[in-house]
Amino acid sequence: MDPLKALADAERKPYWLDSPAKPEPLPRLFGETTADLAVVGGGFSGLWTALMAKERDPSLDVVLLEGRRVGWAASGRNGGFAMATLTHGIANGLERWPEEIATLERLGTANLDELGRTVADHGIDCGYERTGELHVATEPWQLAEMNESVEIARELGARFDVLDRERIRAEVNSPTYIGGHWERDGCAMLDPARLAWGLRQACLSLGVRIHERTPVRHVRDTPASMDLLTPHGTVRAGKVALGTGVFQPLLRRLRHLLVPVYDYALMTEPLSAERLASVGWRNRQGVGDAANQFHYYRLTADNRILWGGYDAVYYNGGKIKPEYEQRDETFVKLAEHFYTTFPQLSEVRFTHRWGGVIDTCSRFSAFYGLSHGGRLAYAAGYTGLGVGATRFGANVMLDLLGGEPTERTGLRMVREKPLPFPPEPVRSAGIQMTRWSIAQADLHQGRRNLWLRTLDRMGLGFDS
Ligand SMILES: Cc1cc2nc3c(=O)[nH]c(=O)nc-3n(C[C@H](O)[C@H](O)[C@H](O)COP(=O)(O)OP(=O)(O)OC[C@H]3O[C@@H](n4cnc5c(N)ncnc54)[C@H](O)[C@@H]3O)c2cc1C
């Protein structure tokens, strides 16, 4: 089908948030209150922090402040791939923290196991399915690169099935696939908005006080308390955890460590049984291709296909604006790629199109820290892979605020910070050059030009 026609009726909003399960807003904060711990941000980072703070110590008085609505940002509009990796894939982890990789993989798997247990224990109805991920190659150079890291992942205990052309097409039938891997345990699929709303409910049931539509404008450090100033009230807290993602940081030092990158996705109408059978997909894995500009895709509970990725867009100047959540040029490109991958679905239409902003840092995986004499902790920089890893980051923030060393806080990965991005306008020029070079690499058998090789050597990068 012509992509423009296929997109004509697609709603311009995130599919997951367009749901009858969306709860009513919780009251704004009016007046003054106190708390042992104040959490800023109602995405996964903040929700996990508040929830696990109460699980660790039920007597703790915890308040969570969300500027808009719980889960409205990246957490409620993503692909719903909850990955075990804490390092944005094993290759990135090996490159940066080779001596810790076995520990990082073990902690990442345990984190995903525990995430699944919380979903079950609290009865969170978010379609959680630990189906793993298919990594598919569409070009020979991609296969060669994938095989390198699989060998190491297997040595570290990961279950990877290597699938040739026939076997991978028997899983998901696309004429573009030439081979790939099925990472069996490294990923669960879920409905991210329902997870956010479920975590919100779990927090409330343990006694966390949540105020929505309550942006924190300023953090004031006094000898007696950390004061969070909001439009109509103040929280005087003993400690603070920031789960504010990519938004205007309340801490100046984070400004040069994060850039906002937009990622886009489409949702199809539900597939009939016959159409689904033409693709196979009986094991319902998440799928990601292995290009630098990659696509990710998956089935929903009612057998739609979420199709996202490819373009990772940095708007010069690094602003966050609602109008950036829609990009027709990208939607058309994504629709074309969908039909190339699944020509048997050429009559399928799209019902939703949307974008969201990602907290990208130069090491592609989150960083953590403390400030204000150990009274404020932060975790950010998940670079497009935070559905699972934010839970680990929340634990790191609680460990840091607790003040006692733990296995997590002893990690070099946790202690080190990423390299900062240069100031504007050099930042925009550098990022656009990198985006162009990445696209060129995909066109030329993955060969990285001088610019990318220099960034690689410096440990700097750009990714979605
Ligand atoms: C299109 C898209 C697809 C993605 N796909 C995947 C995927 O499949 N798998 C995966 O692992 N990751 C994916 N991600 C990334 C993932 O969604 C994020 O890493 C994760 O949700 C980050 O959670 P967070 O809580 O840190 O940030 P956010 O979800 O951005 O939440 C931050 C919250 O803090 C609030 N806030 C900010 N400042 C203040 C303030 N001053 N006062 C009060 N509140 C404040 C904001 O309103 C917001 O609600 C994707 C992201 C996008 C955009």
pLDDT digits (tens, 9 = 90+) for 281-308: 999 999 999 888 899 999 999 999 999 9
Specify whether the CB–CB gap between 411 and 393 falls below 8 A: no
Say which amino acid occupies 374: G
- Report the alpha-carbon distance of residue 223 to residue 432 in Å, rounded: 45
| Local confidence band at 461 (pLDDT 50, 70, 90 cut-offs) | low
**Closest to 409 in 3D by CA, of 425, 398, 420:** 398
pLDDT at 368: 98
Residue to substitute in 12, 13, 78 for testing ligand 1 pocket (most ligand atoms within 8 angstroms of CB) = 78
Which residue puts its alpha carbon closest to atom 14 of ligand 1? 384
Closest residue CA from atom 15 of ligand 1: 384
Q: What is the CA 71 to chain-centroid distance, rounded?
A: 12
Query: To test the ligand 1 pocket, which listed residue (28, 217, 330, 382) has its Cβ within 8 A of the most ligand atoms?
Result: 382
Q: What is the pTM of this model?
A: 0.96
Give the residue among 178, 200, 190 at the shortest CA–CA distance from 72.
200
pLDDT bracket for residue 429 (50, 70, 90): confident
- Centre of ligand 1 from the C-alpha of residue 347, in Å: 33
Mutation test residue for ligand 1: of 358, 361, 376, the one with most atoms within 8 Å of CB: 358
- For the CA of 387, the nearest atom of ligand 1: 11
Ligand 1 near 271 CB (within 6 A): no
In angstroms, the CA 247 to CA 267 distance is: 26
How far from each other are the two terminal CA atoms of the chain, in whole angstroms? 28
Helix (H) or strand (E) holding 218: strand 218-221
How far, in Å, is the centroid of ligand 1 from the Cα of 226? 24
216 lines ligand 1 (CB under 6 A): yes
Average pLDDT over residues 216-228: 96
pLDDT for position 162? 93
Report phi then psi at 206, rounded to 5: -90, 0
Q: Which of the four pLDDT bands, split at 50, 70 and 90, describes residue 367? A: very high
Ligand 1, atom 31, lies closest to the CA of 43
Instruction: Note the pLDDT of residue 462.
Output: 61
Q: How many angstroms does the Cα of residue 48 sit away from the middle of ligand 1?
A: 12
Q: Cis omega before residue 175 (within 30°)?
A: no
Identity of residue 343: P
Cross-strand bridge partners of residue 234: 32, 229
Encode pLDDT of 50-106 as tens digits.
999 999 999 999 999 999 999 999 999 999 999 999 999 998 999 899 999 999 999
Q: Where are the alpha helices (DSSP H) in 29-181?
A: 44-56, 90-96, 101-121, 140-155, 165-171
Mutating to test ligand 1, I would choose from 131, 299, 387 the residue with most ligand atoms within 8 A of its C-beta, which is 387
Residue 360 Cβ inside 6 Å of ligand 1? The answer reads: no
- Cα–Cα distance measured from residue 52 to residue 406, given in angstroms and rounded to the nearest whole number: 16
Our answer on whether the CB atom of 73 is closer than 6 Å to any ligand 1 atom is yes
